[in-house]
A and B are shown apart, each in its own frame.
Chain A
Amino acid sequence: MKFLRSLFFGDRFRMLRASFWALLFSLAAGALILFLMGKNPVSAYANLLQGAGLLPKLKYAGRQNQLTDFLSFLDAMTPMVFASLSVATALRAGFFNIAVPGQMLAAGFCAHIVMAALGDALPSPLAKILVLVIGIAVGAALSACMGWLKYRFNVNEVVTSIMLNSIVMYLVTFYINTFYVNPITRQSRPISDAARLTLSGVRWNGLKADFALAFPLAILAAFLLRTFLERTTYGFEIRALGLSRGAARYSGISLGQTTLLTMAISGALGGLAGVAYFCGCFASIQPGTMPGMGFDAIAVALLGGGQPLGCVFASFLITIISEGSVYMSSRLSVEPEIASLITSVILIFSACSASFGGRRGGHD
């Protein structure tokens, strides 16, 4: 009884309630859009679940079934978990990490280049570990630079992020188009299977499945991050910085050091998202585009209430929409853009979720 009361009215679950309402409102709005287009919203949402491997489809192609769909769903979800964790970490310290797309691209690109230079010199497990290390290092370095600029020169981190995204995007595009293009696909040359973080097209029990090796790592990262933020001194300092800068400085927390640490952790997670995306889900980089997932991650982190485990659940939901949309659009013959439309409506509602959470307890 007490638990139920705290679930519906208490302060502890305020964020959870806010996210729940945001989701409910936006699904209703999405249903309305679909209804106005003359489609059946219920079957559309069922199709989303089927496409993501959570419900069985009517029929499957050879060597495919619900399990393989679900495995590729997990594959697509992995980078989203990392990316939203990255945003959430920065958010806890009161920063906005809008540079996740840039960090992803830079990390994925560096991993590609290094792996191509090494060739087949490394055995498979070592190569995969090296890819992860490169991702962490590149992302953390880029992001720490931003933290340093913010702390040392008072450059707004939002502006630096935006500039960095564009600079990285054009540099990578230039390099790939000039030196590293696959002339047939017009993308970068694919990364070797030995280094790729997703085992793609594995024959198994008569099925052909994709195994995302980074997925357990993403879940582990969420739990580690939670422990780090809630149970360690550094985590406490990060949260203190986010709650009140002045109070944090007054109590002797080093602003510069904490800013750098937060940005480095956030960047490392962004870099991991990058390698999970460009060296996992996909084997090559498409020049001239930024991974839109990096922007979606901001909203996913919000939907998750800025909590690591919340991010995992929010990524799960958003990935259902993005993964299931292909199947839905082919079944209902609607534009696949409807999925990103629904996603952005969810983002809008979660952006103003503070208004949904009900009355704030205590003094505010």
Chain B
Amino acid sequence: MTELLNMVIIDGLSFALPLFIMAIGGIYSEKSGITNLALEGFQGVGAFAGAFAAVFLAQYTAGPMPCYFSFLFAMIGGGVFALLHALLCIRFRANQVISGVVMNILAVAMTTFLTKRINAAVFGNAGNKFMLGTIARFTVPGLSDIPVLGAIFTNVYPFEGFILVVAAVMSCVLYCTPFGLRLRACGDNPHAADAAGVDVNRVRTVAVVISGCLSGIAGMSFAYSISANFSADIFLGYGYLSIAALIFGNWTILPAFWACLLFGFAHSGGMALILRLGLPSSYNDLVRILPYVLTLVLLIFFSRHNRSPRALGEPYEKGKR
């Protein structure tokens, strides 16, 4: 029984934390006033860039270097791709929901196409995926011996620690710095922010790029843990799940964290249940519904009191009242 509980905690955390970092990215973008349905695409493109860097570097060096660089390149890749969303939403004033959906479609088409091309041109094989494998997990000695809670420190992926550090920094930036204040002002009352001397469109662009970088981390984490490779299978809808988490958390970081944990434990708990009951693997699909149903039911109760940033989804026009 304890083993099962440990498994739920370990798997739940490794699923929840990437969702969390992606949700923070979404909060940055939406707090600045840009609706971001494109998180799904950002994390996929980030994972693609990172996986390519890892596989490419692995030809020359062994050891942990490719892994570090992959996360760097995932952030860059996600950020650059996010720039396109920013361009459409801010410069061309496209409808932000539509732009987000289109970004996701483009991400799938582009990464599958490029993966095939690159595999053929650079690595000389005809595969449609970059093989990565999973990264080695570690266990914190001492802390892991605590009953029940020790599972938090057992079999941890290195990226989980990284994500927590980045998350702490990003929430400081959002809530404790002048930049964070300006960013939130752009989402609630861009005209006031403009009057106070803030370049609204630039702040929004930066916010969208940040959300791309953070989503890239998430995508790379999924590529290194759940899927163990990069292929089109990375687009499983986790980006949408983190959007649900941030809406749930009423566009604030800490409540979004609890929501992500809830999704993570619903996910791993369902899997553990199937294992415990000894059902065939096709029942896994049934429990995968859990986080989504949970979201839907909880949203019904919480949506009343939710308040999105006031200027969310509206392109900023100087002369408009």
Contact residues of A between 247 and 302, Cβ < 8 Å to B: 288, 292, 295-296, 298-299, 302
Give the interface residue-count category, chain A: 35 or more
Flag if A354 contacts B113 (CB, 8 Å). Answer: no
Flag if B289 contacts A154 (CB, 8 Å). Answer: no
Flag if B102 contacts A351 (CB, 8 Å). Answer: yes
Flag if B282 contacts A299 (CB, 8 Å). Answer: no
CA distance A159 to B112 in the complex (A): 26
- Write the nearest CB–CB distance from B87 to chain A, whole angstroms: 9
Contact A344 to B247, CB < 8 A, known contacts A167-B289, A295-B101, A337-B112: no
Q: Which residues of B contact A295 (CB under 8 A)?
A: 101, 104-105
Main secondary structure of the interface of B (DSSP, over half): helix
CA distance A295 to B106 in the complex (A): 11
Flag if A159 contacts B299 (CB, 8 Å). Answer: yes
Indicate whether A68 reaches chain B with its CB closer than 8 angstroms. Answer: no
- Write the nearest CB–CB distance from B15 to chain A, whole angstroms: 15
| Stretch among A39-47, A75-83, A168-176 lining the B interface | A168-176
CA distance A231 to B101 in the complex (A): 32
0 or 1 for each of A162-182: is its CB under 8 Å from B? (1 = yes)? 111111001101100110000
- Write the nearest CB–CB distance from A109 to chain B, whole angstroms: 14
Flag if A302 contacts B116 (CB, 8 Å). Answer: no
Contact A343 to B109, CB < 8 A, known contacts A153-B304, A352-B88: yes
A156 — nearest CB in chain B belongs to which residue?
A: B247
| Stretch among B92-100, B140-148, B175-183, B249-257 lining the A interface | B92-100
Contact A166 to B105, CB < 8 A, known contacts A96-B97, A149-B300: no
**Which of B37, B102, B285, B296 interacts with A174 by CB under 8 Å?**
B285
CA distance A352 to B103 in the complex (A): 12
Flag if B99 contacts A159 (CB, 8 Å). Answer: no
Flag if B244 contacts A163 (CB, 8 Å). Answer: yes
Q: Which residues of A contact B303 (CB under 8 A)?
A: 153-156
Flag if B300 contacts A170 (CB, 8 Å). Answer: no
**Which of B101, B108, B240, B280 interacts with A298 by CB under 8 Å?**
B101
- Write the nearest CB–CB distance from A275 to chain B, whole angstroms: 23
CA distance A160 to B116 in the complex (A): 34
**Which of B102, B237, B240 interacts with A348 by CB under 8 Å?**
B102
CA distance A42 to B256 in the complex (A): 51
Residue among A96, A163, A343 having the largest count of chain B Cβ atoms under 10 Å: A163
Flag if B105 contacts A344 (CB, 8 Å). Answer: yes
Contact A171 to B247, CB < 8 A, known contacts A153-B304, A337-B109, A352-B94: no
0 or 1 for each of B60-95: is its CB under 8 Å from A? (1 = yes)? 000000000000000000000000000010001111
Indicate whether B162 reaches chain A with its CB closer than 8 angstroms. Answer: no
Q: Which residues of A contact B288 (CB under 8 A)?
A: 166, 170
Q: Which residues of A contact B292 (CB under 8 A)?
A: 163, 166-167, 170
**Which of A96, A155, A298, A354 interacts with B94 by CB under 8 Å?**
A354
Residue among A156, A158, A162, A355 having the largest count of chain B Cβ atoms under 10 Å: A162
Indicate whether B110 reaches chain A with its CB closer than 8 angstroms. Answer: yes
- Write the nearest CB–CB distance from B248 to chain A, whole angstroms: 9
Flag if B286 contacts A153 (CB, 8 Å). Answer: no
**Which of A149, A163, A302, A340 interacts with B98 by CB under 8 Å?**
A302
Contact A159 to B244, CB < 8 A, known contacts A177-B282, A343-B109: yes
CA distance A344 to B88 in the complex (A): 14
Indicate whether B243 reaches chain A with its CB closer than 8 angstroms. Answer: yes
CA distance A295 to B237 in the complex (A): 13
CA distance A344 to B106 in the complex (A): 5
CA distance A296 to B289 in the complex (A): 24
Indicate whether B293 reaches chain A with its CB closer than 8 angstroms. Answer: yes
**Which of A98, A163, A302 interacts with B296 by CB under 8 Å?**
A163
Indicate whether A120 reaches chain B with its CB closer than 8 angstroms. Answer: no
Indicate whether B227 reaches chain A with its CB closer than 8 angstroms. Answer: no
Flag if B102 contacts A344 (CB, 8 Å). Answer: yes
Q: Which residues of A contact B296 (CB under 8 A)?
A: 155, 160, 163-164, 167
0 or 1 for each of B281-310: is its CB under 8 Å from A? (1 = yes)? 011011011001101100110011010000
- Write the nearest CB–CB distance from B160 to chain A, whole angstroms: 25
CA distance A302 to B37 in the complex (A): 17
Indicate whether A335 reaches chain B with its CB closer than 8 angstroms. Answer: yes
- Write the nearest CB–CB distance from A364 to chain B, whole angstroms: 10
Contact A178 to B240, CB < 8 A, known contacts A98-B101, A348-B88: no
Flag if B300 contacts A155 (CB, 8 Å). Answer: yes
CA distance A295 to B98 in the complex (A): 10
Flag if A344 contacts B283 (CB, 8 Å). Answer: no
Q: Which residues of A contact B95 (CB under 8 A)?
A: 351, 354
Flag if A166 contacts B240 (CB, 8 Å). Answer: yes
Indicate whether A347 reaches chain B with its CB closer than 8 angstroms. Answer: yes
A353 — nearest CB in chain B belongs to which residue?
A: B94
Flag if B110 contacts A178 (CB, 8 Å). Answer: no
- Write the nearest CB–CB distance from B318 to chain A, whole angstroms: 14
Q: List 15 A-B contacts (CB under 8 A).
A: A96-B98, A155-B299, A159-B243, A164-B296, A166-B237, A166-B288, A167-B293, A170-B289, A292-B105, A299-B101, A335-B113, A338-B113, A341-B110, A344-B110, A352-B88
Knowing that A149-B300, A162-B243, A302-B98 are A-B contacts, what are 17 other residue pairs whose CB atoms are under 8 Å apart, sorted by A's residue number?
A155-B296, A158-B97, A159-B295, A164-B296, A166-B289, A171-B289, A174-B282, A177-B285, A296-B105, A298-B101, A335-B117, A340-B105, A340-B109, A341-B113, A344-B102, A354-B92, A354-B93
* Chain B residues in the interface with A (C-beta under 8 A): 37, 88, 92-95, 97-99, 101-102, 104-106, 108-110, 112-113, 116-117, 237, 240, 243-244, 247, 280, 282-283, 285-286, 288-289, 292-293, 295-296, 299-300, 303-304, 306
* Chain A residues in the interface with B (C-beta under 8 A): 96, 98, 149, 153-156, 158-160, 162-167, 170-171, 173-174, 177-178, 288, 292, 295-296, 298-299, 302, 335, 337-338, 340-341, 343-345, 347-348, 351-352, 354-355
Those 3 A-B pairs whose CB atoms lie nearest each other, nearest first = A352-B92, A174-B285, A340-B109
